[in-house]
Structure 1
Amino acid sequence: MRVVSGNYKGRSLKAVPGVSTRPTTDKVKEAIFNMVGPYFEGGVALDLFAGSGGLGIEALSRGIERCIFVDRESKAIQTIHKNLEVCHAIEASEVYRNDAERALKAIIKRELQFQLIFLDPPYKQQKLKTLINEISENRLLRKDGFIVTEHGSDIQLPEEIDQLIQLKHETYGMSSITIYRYSHKGEE
């Protein structure tokens, strides 16, 4: 696993030890960033099921100013810290050990908005529709932002969730990527 492009390009990232975390492959990571725009001029990202932190670190490498990493596993948190050190990205990051629902509640209280939100939960424990709905209802995504979900290719997510519409859907073997953004219907 490595950083594909940007300021940290080529840096090797450690995977979370054990079999409970499935890292996003470099090929899928590159495809994701080709879909949402290869580079960014600032903004904040949220990597909600961060694992090794690979998606959030890639976003930082490509111009996101700050990224919040959340995972409930202590081994994942340790791995994220090591990977941030390798990329000298600690100052641009916040890392929390928490589950997704509690983390979202804390983020809602902070009134944060994100340019990019990564949702890559364990394939067997998906609550993607519920999480996306909560993100939309609480306006955690900027109007020009994206929610990037990674899920099993056997999962079909709806075209619309609250005010968000499916922008892209691609399958890579056992994994699928579905990207949402605001529909902008009825916006001034």
Structure 2
Amino acid sequence: MRVISGQYGGRRLQAVPSDQTRPTADKVKESMFNMLGPYFDGGRALDLYAGTGALGIEAVSRGMDHATLVDRQFQAIKTIHANLEITKEVDKFTVIKAPVAKALAQLSANEDQFDLIMLDPPYAKQEALAQLADFLALHLLTPTGRVMIETGLDVDYPETIPGYTILRHQTYGVAQVLILERTDLDG
């Protein structure tokens, strides 16, 4: 597992030493970011169910100014901190050890907003559609913010998702990736 492109491109990342995380394969990660841009001109990213921190690190490597990484498992948090050290720019990252719902409430209370929210939940515990609604209700997305979700194939996405425009929907083996952009609900 490595950082695919950008400022930290090619640097190797550690895996979480347990079977409780499922890192995104490098080829899938590369495709996901290519669908997004593939580079950013600043902004803030939120990596939920961060695991190794690979998606947040990739986002900063490709031009995001800052990434907040959220995971609830001790081993994942320990691995994230080790992987952030390879960037030599730890100040570009915030790590939160908490369940996602608690972290979202905390971020909302701080009035944090993100240009990109990425989530790769455990396939057995997917709440992606409910969380999409939470992002809007908690005002976590900037007006042009995007969301990138990786889920198992068993999640059946509707053709329209309130508050969002579906930009891409791609399948990779046992995973599917959905990229959405916030839609102005007032207009």
TM-score by length of 2: 0.96
What corresponds to 1:175 in structure 2?
A: 175
Residues in 2 aligned to 1:89 and 1:177: alpha-carbon distance in whole angstroms? 29
Where do residues 85-124 of structure 1 align in structure 2 (5 Å cutoff)? Answer: 85-124=85-124
Residues in 1 aligned to 2:34 and 2:158: alpha-carbon distance in whole angstroms? 22
- Runs of 5+ in structure 2 lacking a partner? none
Superposed CA RMSD in Å reads 1.2
User: Per-residue deviation at 1:87?
Assistant: 1.4
Please say if residues 47 and 67 of structure 1, whose CA atoms lie closer than 8 Å, have aligned partners that are also in contact.
yes
Please say if residues 136 and 162 of structure 1, whose CA atoms lie closer than 8 Å, have aligned partners that are also in contact.
no
Q: 58-67 or 157-166: which moved more?
A: 157-166
User: Per-residue deviation at 1:180?
Assistant: 1.2
Where do residues 19-168 of structure 1 align in structure 2 (5 Å cutoff)? Answer: 19-168=19-168
For the residue of structure 2 that corresponds to 1:181, the secondary structure is strand
Residues in 2 aligned to 1:29 and 1:97: alpha-carbon distance in whole angstroms? 23
User: Per-residue deviation at 1:185?
Assistant: 6.2
CA pair 15-160 structure 1, distance change in 2 beyond 3 A:
same
Please say if residues 150 and 175 of structure 1, whose CA atoms lie closer than 8 Å, have aligned partners that are also in contact.
yes
Please say if residues 136 and 164 of structure 1, whose CA atoms lie closer than 8 Å, have aligned partners that are also in contact.
no
Aligned length: 187
Deviation digits for residues 126-168 of structure 1 (CA, Å, limit 9, x no counterpart): 1111111010122211122210000002222223333112221
Counterpart amino acid of 1:99? P
Residues in 2 aligned to 1:161 and 1:74: alpha-carbon distance in whole angstroms? 34
For the residue of structure 1 that corresponds to 2:143, the secondary structure is strand
Residues in 1 aligned to 2:180 and 2:158: alpha-carbon distance in whole angstroms? 10
User: Per-residue deviation at 1:18?
Assistant: 1.2
What corresponds to 1:7 in structure 2?
A: 7
Deviation digits for residues 80-115 of structure 1 (CA, Å, limit 9, x no counterpart): 000000111311011011001000000110111111
Residues in 1 aligned to 2:166 and 2:156: alpha-carbon distance in whole angstroms? 11
Counterpart amino acid of 1:119? L
Residues in 1 aligned to 2:35 and 2:69: alpha-carbon distance in whole angstroms? 21
For the residue of structure 2 that corresponds to 1:42, the secondary structure is coil
Q: 73-82 or 151-160: which moved more?
A: 151-160
User: Per-residue deviation at 1:10?
Assistant: 0.2
Residues in 2 aligned to 1:150 and 1:165: alpha-carbon distance in whole angstroms? 17
Deviation digits for residues 62-86 of structure 1 (CA, Å, limit 9, x no counterpart): 0100110000000000000000001
TM-score by length of 1: 0.95
